[in-house]
Structure 1
Amino acid sequence: MTSCKTWKFEQTHFGKRALASILLLASFTSYANNANDASHPLISPFSCLLEPSSEVELSSEVQGVIKELRVNRGDKVKKGQVVMKLNSTVEIAAVNTVKARLDFASRKVERNADLYRKSLISDNEQDEMLTEQRLAEFQLKEAKVRLSQRQTRSPISGVVIERIKDPGEFVDEEPFLRIATLNPIHAEVVLPAELYGKISKGQQVNLSALGKDATYQGKVSIIDPIIDAASNTFAVTVSLNNDSQSLFVGQRCDVEFISGS
């Protein structure tokens, strides 16, 4: 399993580097064609790629066998939504046992309260009953925590992009689900080093996506603080509203940085 995961990572890493080179070549060509055009009101168009604004791989806090996996690939999820439950027969029984112990201890304290007021039982006996009650309360909290660990909630709102496990399978620290946020959506752009300092965070951007007639507005959200010496480039992330879900991860796109914004 480890070797397969390593192979997948290397394939993905290589693919991203190759795609970045293609985007950079296209960007340089476009930039060179427009560099001497004084009438052009924008910093020349650059090629980009649409990516999720965030992506997480979910794993379980504890080991166990999946009882329910409530989502499939393509399903939308909300932050805090329960997406997976493990078999929890033992943990439910533990909660019920401690509840019964707490109920008994509480009834015992209540029954003997009047006797204590009349000094018919000692302070030591009263203290023992109250201590039993408090210990049962703590044990119930612990049992409920252990039970809550048998389910996993989504830490973000987004879309399921991969379901790795199915009900009946064993899970541990390995991921069982991948979720990505598609609104907002990000455009990743590779720029020549000569533009470093000319692009600012919050700068307005016009984006056109492959196969789309519309122009979308976005803002620069991240500027890499380091220039890559090998390629003499730096990367910029553009954030765009995607309420309409008309933009898709993996789409090729072009961006123009609006000067003076």
Structure 2
Amino acid sequence: MRKSPLFGSMLLLVLVLNGWGANAIASPDGLEAPLPWEEQLDLGFSAEEQGASPSDMGGFDCLISPDVVVEASIQVSGVLETVDVKVSDRVEEGQVLATLRSTVERAAVALARTRVAMESETKIARERLALRGRKLARGEELLKKKAISLNEVDELRSEKRLAGLEIVRAKENRELAERELDRAQETLNLRTLRSPISGLVVEKFKSAGEFVQSEPVVRLAKLDPLRVEVILPVAMLGRINLDDLAEVMPEAPVSGVYQAKVIGLDHVIDAASGTFGVRLELPNPHYALPGGLKCDIRFLGPPPPSPLGEEELSEEEFREQEPRDDDIRNGEEIPEE
């Protein structure tokens, strides 16, 4: 009897399955041996990445960026009178960067300052009050002698009260002049551009003599501290925590190893790529590192404990540990050193 090819194929499949079953039974630890396709299963990350410990988590690409980048502009429109900085200049927060032509505004400030300095109105009101007081005193003497009527004395008393109110009005006018000076000064300040951050001038858009309306005049970058951004696979989730330390190695030609601290972790995973972001802070007090560098990063884990092995006590905790007067009065003695 001739056997069909289908029968031979089925017989081969049965033999193969029996062989895999025998391998599973013959596994040394009594557990079922992994199937071939399980051995070849790839999750997308290397074994080093999946099993890395906090003390050896390196080889990730990162980017060093300025902490803040600002395009500084003036709030009002006008013609630039001065631009006091150039590219690569180091500026401090509050430093004057540029000013608009402000002839009218400066005149308004000078006028308001003159009004504040004027004291003649107050002096006149005081002299008038003194005069009304003397006239009222003479009128009351004449009233005792029946020389004038009570109605005339009432008029003198009212004139004295009005003279006192004139002093109050003079003080209110002076306060109003001070507020006018403040407004004129603020209007003048709006025409002055001051640096909102401490950093470097990385680009200059306008020069003296140009008209500006809402366009930026300069671009500033804060380089101390620097911000380091790194994208990690989701397998690293939970291995990186806030305040962990890391070693940052910038690309050539910049050399050296710099220590940074984790300040931010993404709480939303990018499902498409299976990654999440981590942000670190890198001190750069002398501007030794520029922004925009690529780098490699190696995470070191949490910072080491203090030399004494204990955290420093706050001022309130220290006071709580000090002996109280009640304890001493109750007979609790303080141990001598």
Q: Counterpart amino acid of 1:108?
A: E
For 2:120, the equivalent position in structure 1 comes to 107
Quick check: 1:70–1:83 contact (8 Å CA) kept in 2? yes
Deviates more, 1:169-178 or 1:197-206: 169-178
TM-aligned CA deviation for residue 220 of structure 1: 0.8
Give the 3 Å change call, closer, same or farther, for CA 203–132 of structure 1 in structure 2.
same
Q: Is the 8 A contact 2:246 2:301 kept in 1?
A: no
Q: Which amino acid aligns with 1:248?
A: P
Superposition RMSD on alpha carbons, in Å? Answer: 2.3
1:137-180 CA-to-partner distances (Å, cap 9, x unmatched) read: 21111111111111011111000111111111122332221111
In 1, are the aligned partners of 2:54 and 2:300 still within 8 Å (CA)?
no
Work out whether 1:165 is the aligned partner of 2:206.
yes
**Residue 234, structure 1, aligned to residue 248, structure 2:** no
Cα deviation code 1:84-106 (max 9, x no counterpart):
111110100111122223333x2
Shift, 1:186, TM fit = 1.5
Contact 2:125 2:164 in 1 (8 A): no
Change (3 A) 1:210 1:130: same
- 1:249 is aligned to 291
**Kept in 2: contact 1:35–1:44 (CA 8 A):** no
Range moving further from structure 2, 70-79 or 132-141: 132-141
* Structure 1 residues 202-261: Cα deviation after superposition (integer angstroms, max 9, x where no partner): 101011111244211111112122112222211111211223433221211100111354
| AA partner of residue 67 (structure 1) | E
Quote the residue 2:93 is aligned against. Answer: 79
Higher-Rg structure is 2
* Distance in structure 2 (CA, Å) of the matches to 1:60 and 1:127: 41
* Bigger relative contact order, structure 1 or 2 (CA pairs below 8 A, ≥6 apart): 1
**Pick from 187, 192, 208: which aligns with 1:151?**
192
Q: CA 1:93/1:195 → structure 2, altered by over 3 Å: closer, same or farther?
A: same
Alignment TM-score, normalising by the size of structure 2? 0.63
Which stretch shifts more, 189-198 or 112-121? Answer: 112-121
Change beyond 3 A, Cα 1:227–1:38? closer
Distance (whole Å) between structure 2 residues aligned to residue 119 and residue 40 of structure 1: 89
The counterpart of 1:116, out of the listed 129, 150, 155, is: 129
Report the alpha carbon displacement of residue 110 of structure 1 after superposing the two structures with TM. Answer: 2.6
CA apart distance, 1:39: 8.9
Gap regions ≥5 residues in structure 1: 1-28
Partner residue, 1:139: 180
Tell me if 1:51 matches 2:93.
no
Q: 1:35 is paired with a residue of what secondary structure?
A: helix
Provide the rounded CA distance (Å) in 1 between the counterparts of 2:117 and 2:49: 79
Contact 1:45-1:257 at 8 Å conserved across structures = no
The answer on whether the counterparts of 1:202 and 1:221 sit within 8 Å (CA) in structure 2 is yes
Deviations 1:55-84 (Å, cap 9, x if unpaired)? 111111222111111111111000111111
Query: Kindly tell me: are residues 198 and 131 of structure 1, through their superposed partners in 2, closer, same or farther at Cα, counting changes over 3 Å?
Result: same
Per-residue CA deviation, residues 99-122 of structure 1 (Å, 9 max, x unaligned), is 223333x22213432432443662
Q: Separation in 1 of the partners of 2:106 and 2:233?
A: 59
Q: Does 1:221 align with 2:263?
A: yes
Structure 2: distance between partners of 1:103 and 1:193: 69
User: 1: CA distance between counterparts of 2:230 and 2:268?
Assistant: 14
Following superposition, the deviation at residue 33 of structure 1 comes to: 7.6
**2-side partners of 1:140 and 1:173: how far apart?**
27
CA distance in 2, matches of 1:229, 1:38: 22
Q: C-alpha separation between the residues in 1 aligned to 2:53 and 2:177?
A: 78
- Would the alpha carbon gap of residues 36 and 108 (structure 1) be closer, same or farther in structure 2, given more than 3 Å must change? closer
Identity of aligned residues (%): 35
